Amino acid sequence: MTERGSFASKIGIILATAGSAVGLGNIWRFPVETGTNGGAAFIIIYLACVLILGIPMMTAEFIIGRRTHTNIATAYKQLAPGEPWFLTGYAGMLCVTLILSYYSVVAGWTLKYAMSSALTEMSAVSDTAAFFNDFASSTWAPMCYSVVFLVITHLIIERGIERGIESFSKVLMPILLVIMIVLVAGALSMPGAKTGVEFLLKPDFGKITGDVVLSALGQAFFSLSLAIGCLSTYASYFKNDVNLGQTAASVVGLDTSVAILSGFIIFPAVFSVAGASPDAGPGLVFITLPNIFNNVFSGMPALGYVFSLLFYVLLVLAALTSTISMHEEVTAFVHERYQVNRLRAASVMTVISIVLSVLCCLSFGPLKDFTPFFGMGFFDFFNYVTAKFIMPISGIILCLFVGWRLKRQVVVEELTNRGSLHIPAWVCSLFIFFLRWMAPIAIGLIFVNELGIWK
Ligand code: PHE
């Protein structure tokens, strides 16, 4: 048997797990969703989703990992021997591999923007849409950036749990939070700050529709890295005295704070230039924002330089702590299941994700017209199939597994650290009831909505 690593400190656990959750989902996707779904009203619904659904589901995932101290597929096999539940573990690994493949493309773009900001190339761009499109549709450059990103992820993973994931998260996450605070202060001093803040804080309840509620649920899911095994894998490295519920609450709190803070960076900036719209969609961060940095700071180029550089470095760091967690899930499985050393196990995942990521990069350029998957290319298809199928279905199965299949005694032992934490019995019962009924129904609704069956 190989010696199993573990996280050494509680703060390391929180920062590494929050690192998985905090990513492009918070700084890129959250503002896009908030912008297109009406601002403050969307945020209120989102907060309800992460608090009501996110904390219990994250705790449920932690229970599976910490109970078994093993990779996701073996964990299901140990908890329900001879039953097909382990297939969810394989579906989770397939899902993170596909997500990592397209996510590393966007992560590569953030690296390109950070480099271009550092080299002052960014501040000289006059047509930011053309700049983005030329770059993303070229053959080699995007591919090189995403491969570099995956190689950096590989090098961290290869160092193991404590020396790799934990020690990097302990450095990267505080830097990320400091950069965010500097950027929020900068954004709030921009000319359009007041309108931006109102957009985020003054809800227009008329904007809440069924669609907005379900988009908020979907965003909560993606942002918290829920239900596909990343969090179980991290929890398999938790020590037995870690309070699972409290850790989930801290991680959800950090993830949500980062999402809201990024709203406070982006919307004050967006409302600072005439003609920029909060519902610019996915181009918000790569087309609208660079344009704003150049325009708002045209009289103070040094400030524009610092702002743009810090913002894209922030995106790079956030993406990196997430790609690490996706990579680790499969690395842990290969390492333990096939008894190969971590370097080899990590190399397998790195090679697979490089190949798939190259295909995703090319789907913006030379393979643009290659759309064999229901009219979609690789990038869009991977995004679609993971977010709309595998994640919600795995989420429902996770709730049903912990709610119905695990014995109540196992759940209570994990919640209370075998009786050493004083958690009242009614809290445990409520938790199980929630996983049995409320969460699967809520996720079922997102699923049906995303498939477009009603509307
Ligand atoms: N939660 C990450 C983000 O917000 C993305 C992610 C999804 C990471 C699934 C791991 C697993 O960017």
User: Which CB contacts under 8 angstroms, 24+ apart, belong to 406-412?
Assistant: 406/63, 406/79, 408/432, 410/63, 410/67, 410/79, 411/63
Predicted confidence at residue 217, as pLDDT, reads 84
Residue type, 349: M
Q: How many angstroms separate the CA atoms of 177 and 314, rounded?
A: 9
Q: How far is the CA of 13 from the centre of ligand 1 (A)?
A: 17
DSSP string, 92-126: HHHHHHHHHHHHHHHHHHHHHHHHHHHTTTGGG-S
Pocket probe mutation, ligand 1, options 29, 233, 320, 322, max atoms within 8 Å of Cβ: 322
Question: pTM value?
Answer: 0.94
On the 0-12 / 13-18 / 19+ scale of CB atoms within 10 A, 323 is buried
- Of 22, 225, 349, which is best to mutate to test ligand 1, by the most ligand atoms within 8 angstroms of its C-beta? 225
99 lines ligand 1 (CB under 6 A): yes
Q: Measure 312 CA to ligand 1 centroid, in angstroms.
A: 18
Of 120, 128, 114, 171, which Cα lies nearest the Cα of 310? 114
Nearest-angstrom CA–CA distance, 272 and 291: 11
Q: Does residue 40 contact residue 205 with C-beta atoms inside 8 Å? A: no
Q: Chain-centre distance of CA 74, in angstroms?
A: 24
Angle at 304 between CA 302 and CA 306, to 5 degrees: 70
pLDDT at 455: 44
What confidence score (pLDDT) does residue 1 get? 42
Please work out whether the CB of residue 213 comes within 6 Å of at least one atom of ligand 1. Answer: no
CA distances from 349 to 15, 68, 433 (A): 24, 23, 37
Tell me the pLDDT tens digit for each residue of 316-373.
999 999 999 999 999 999 999 999 999 999 999 999 999 999 999 999 999 999 999 9
Model pLDDT for residues 1-51, shown as the tens digit of each residue: 446 889 999 999 999 999 999 999 999 999 999 998 989 999 999 999 999
Which candidate, 14, 62, 57, places its Cα nearest to that of 251? 14
d(CA 23, ligand 1 centre) in Å: 6
19 lines ligand 1 (CB under 6 A): no
Beta bridge partners of 373: 376
Tell me the CA–centroid distance for residue 163 and ligand 1, in Å. 22
Given a cut of 70, the residues of the chain with pLDDT beneath it are 1-3, 450, 452-455
- What per-residue confidence (pLDDT) applies to 78? 98
Give per-residue burial for 352-367: e unless 16+ CB within 10 Å, then b.
Answer: ebbebbbbbbbbbbeb
- What is 10-451's CATH topology? Hydantoin permease (1.10.4160)
Strands (E), 189-251: none
Name the nearest CA neighbour of 233 among 85, 66, 104. Answer: 66
Written as one letter, the residue type at 141 is A
Q: Which residue has the tokens 């949500």?
A: 256
| CA 49 to centroid of ligand 1, rounded, Å | 16
Query: Where are the chain's structural domains?
Result: 10-451
Query: How is residue 179 written in tokens?
Result: 């950069």
Distance 150 CA to ligand 1 centre (A): 15
* Cα 298 from Cα 79, distance rounded (Å): 60
pLDDT of amino acid 21: 97
Tell me, using a 6 A CB cutoff, whether residue 230 lines ligand 1: yes
Distance, CA 189 to ligand 1 centroid (Å)?
31
The per-residue pLDDT for range 86-106, each reduced to its tens digit, is 999 999 999 999 999 999 999
Q: Let me know: does 50 contact 220? Beta carbons within 8 Å.
A: yes
Helix (H, G, I), strand (E, B) or coil at 281: helix
For ligand 1, what atom is nearest to the CA of residue 28?
Answer: 12
Answer whether 25 contacts ligand 1 (Cβ < 6 A).
yes
Residue whose CA is at the smallest distance from ligand 1 atom 6: 225
Best probe residue, ligand 1, of 149, 172, 223 (max atoms within 8 Å of C-beta): 223
